[in-house]
Structure 1
Amino acid sequence: MSSSQRTVFVTGGAGFIGMHVVPMLLERDYKVRIFDNMFRGDRDKVAELVATGNVELIDQDVRYGGAVQNAMKGCESVIHLAAVSINKSVSDPYESVDINMVGNHNVFAAAADQGVRRLVYASSASVYGDPKKLPMHEDDELAPLTPYCIAKRSGEDLLGFYERTKGLSWVGLRFFNVYGPGQKTTAYYTSVINHFVNRLRQGLPPVIDGKGEQSMDFIHVTDIARSVVAALESEKANVPVNIGTGIDTTVADLAKILINAVGVDVEPTFNPRDVLVSRRAADITRAKEVLGWEPTISVEDGMNELVKLTATT
């Protein structure tokens, strides 16, 4: 296969996850065409990648179907990461539906029309809503709660439509709680990490609502990027796949991990109030079977690295 056939079209490629995926693609001799409106993208980092000669940036928006169709021409495969965040989708459902639903459709329709070899879609564990049991399996009931989650679920359904009607080959990656270097400090899942670390650096104990039993499945962005590349290259396709560690880390456990990472001698304080206790942990059997992927970075190691990095920046 010549390199001209191995150009990957990456929407949202200048964002947090994209900036970890693109270097991995370059290591594997792909060319990359980033399609990003640069609203949150890192222009300096993208400029460095463009300077390699194997990356180009199309500064455009997935809401414009014609722009997507034109920009995708000649691309062998597609990675669709562009989306509006979960918090923003509640405060501005109009923009969320526009970007996450219309944008999804523009990308999927263009990929189906142009006969790309594979489309990898960044879905989300939020499609499950509040899980009835752990670990969460891909065949469990879906009950998305916000416009963001609803759009992620409908994206998977749309991919099924284009698979049936146009033969589109796709993998939908249901990312759990992504964290790691380069993430905006305002990000939904890292706000608790940042809040704890900021207090610990001041020698103050982290404050936990309730008993700290609410949990997340924290998955490092490097492992996320590896799953995207694995999905691009896997022989099996046309299924949603959970991408997490399979371990639910409670907020109380997270506080202990971060206390050790920062190296302060404090105990967390608990704020007694009613908390809707939600727990998350991925069943990652399918990720191993379909993608040959499993996580490599433990929560302890990942959080330690994050604390070290934030200390130097």
Structure 2
Amino acid sequence: MSSRTVLFTGGAGFIGLHVVPLLLERGYRVRIFDNMFRGDRDRVAELAATGRVELIDQDVRYGGAVYRVMRGCDHVIHFAAVSINKSQADPYESIDINMVGNHNVFAAAAEHRIRRLVYASSASVYGEPRKLPMHEDDELNPLTPYCIAKRAGEDLLRFYQRQRGLSWIALRFFNVYGPGQKPTAYYTSVINHFVARLRNGQPPVIDGRGEQSMDFIHVRDIARGVVAALESERGNMPINLGTGVDTSVAQLAKILIDAVGVDVTPEFNPRDVLVSRRAADIRRAREVLGWQPTVSIEDGMADLVRRTPAGSRRTPAPDRLPRTPAPSSTS
């Protein structure tokens, strides 16, 4: 395994920088392909100092660059994408990067006969679920340019599987959180906002009764899932990565109150709220990848609070979970 090389698009982002050390532990060499718009140059420099990581500062929209740098690689991890909130503000750029970028990476992988391509898809492809837990075979109803591109990416992978024999796994990430995440991350900014209020001695303010929920999955578990997908004997399918637990915003507030260690009671803002719930069916991840989550939300949130310096993560995010469809974070 020591001679195998992974091309990792978007590898300088939040999740990627948790995956790369695991790849190094398993003997891989890593080429990070990232335009560094949101990448962490200092952390990449630390990894490059090992002699087994290199950075290609480039954009997935340039198909020639993607093709050239993939030469000599055995595996590909494709994370590069425009985030969900930016995709709604600028659909043109979102389609350009997320759709064209997907195709450039997948076509090159098929041409180079890559052994396995792991794609960062998203639970956002489901839209508003009709039932819980959300299973990979459920109806898909993506509602934003980001979500639509993620679903189209899965379809493109199937095309290259049929046409060129490309081996792939699309990981549908639920609500990823953990150390190193930017405070503006769309679906988990509520965590940072609650923590900022609690550290100021203020109670979290919750719209409605706090019944809206998400499936929060720690980045350390996500990273393990990515490596498992890269090495799995079975492939050519989407796989959920979540905990299977839907944590309501009211429960999240209580967990964070305990983690911060303050004596406050959440305040509820009476109003009509669209109650949206999320929970992943993770049976396929267990069966195909031999993977299951190991970090409970209580332990994960407590660790996140410990690692976040007081006053450094204040954000004007809303006091409620977002109402737009399903979760994701890829960088």
Query: TM-score when scaled to structure 1?
Result: 0.98
Distance 1:210 1:91 in 2: 27
Q: Which amino acid aligns with 2:224?
A: R
Q: Which amino acid aligns with 1:88?
A: K
Match of 1:207 in 2: 205
Deviations 1:15-65 (A, max 9, x none): 000000000000001000000000110001001111110001000000100
Distance 2:256 2:27 in 1: 37
Match of 2:283 in 1: 285
Deviations 1:49-88 (A, max 9, x none): 1111000100000010000000110000000011111000
Match of 1:108 in 2: 106
SS at match of 2:66: helix
Deviations 1:182-219 (A, max 9, x none): 00000012210011000000000000011100000000
SS at match of 1:274: coil
Distance 1:311 1:113 in 2: 47
Match of 2:157 in 1: 159
Q: Does 1:185 align with 2:183?
A: yes
Q: Which amino acid aligns with 2:74?
A: E
Equivalent of residue 270 in structure 1, options 251, 268, 271 = 268
SS at match of 2:292: coil
Match of 1:198 in 2: 196
Kindly state the Cα deviation for residue 117 of structure 1 after the two structures are TM-superposed.
0.2
Kindly state the Cα deviation for residue 311 of structure 1 after the two structures are TM-superposed.
3.2
Deviations 1:96-143 (A, max 9, x none): 101111100100000000000000000000000000000000000000
Match of 1:255 in 2: 253
SS at match of 2:255: helix
Mind listing any 5+ residue stretches in structure 1 that lack a counterpart? none
Q: Which amino acid aligns with 2:217?
A: I
Match of 1:305 in 2: 303
- The within-5 A match list for 1:20-31 is 20-31=18-29
Distance 1:209 1:162 in 2: 45
Distance 1:152 1:243 in 2: 15
Q: Which amino acid aligns with 1:113?
A: E
Match of 2:45 in 1: 47
Kept in 2: contact 1:207–1:270 (CA 8 A): yes
Equivalent of residue 293 in structure 2, options 287, 291, 295 = 295
Distance 1:101 1:304 in 2: 37
Distance 1:127 1:197 in 2: 29
| Structure (1/2) with the larger helix percentage | 1
Distance 1:311 1:79 in 2: 32
Match of 2:320 in 1: none
Kept in 2: contact 1:179–1:189 (CA 8 A): no
Kindly state the Cα deviation for residue 276 of structure 1 after the two structures are TM-superposed.
1.2
SS at match of 1:82: coil
Q: Which amino acid aligns with 1:62?
A: V
Q: Does 1:17 align with 2:6?
A: no
Distance 2:42 2:52 in 1: 16
Distance 2:269 2:84 in 1: 25
Mind listing any 5+ residue stretches in structure 2 that lack a counterpart? 313-331
Equivalent of residue 55 in structure 2, options 54, 57, 78 = 57
Q: Which has the higher contact order (CA 8 A, sep 6+)?
A: 2
Distance 1:93 1:209 in 2: 29
Distance 1:276 1:67 in 2: 44
Kept in 2: contact 1:214–1:278 (CA 8 A): yes
Equivalent of residue 221 in structure 1, options 219, 222, 227 = 219
- Runs of 4+ residues deviating >3 angstroms: none
Kindly state the Cα deviation for residue 268 of structure 1 after the two structures are TM-superposed.
0.4
Q: Does 1:77 align with 2:50?
A: no
SS at match of 2:111: helix
Match of 2:147 in 1: 149
Match of 1:175 in 2: 173
Residue identity (%): 80
Distance 2:218 2:287 in 1: 20
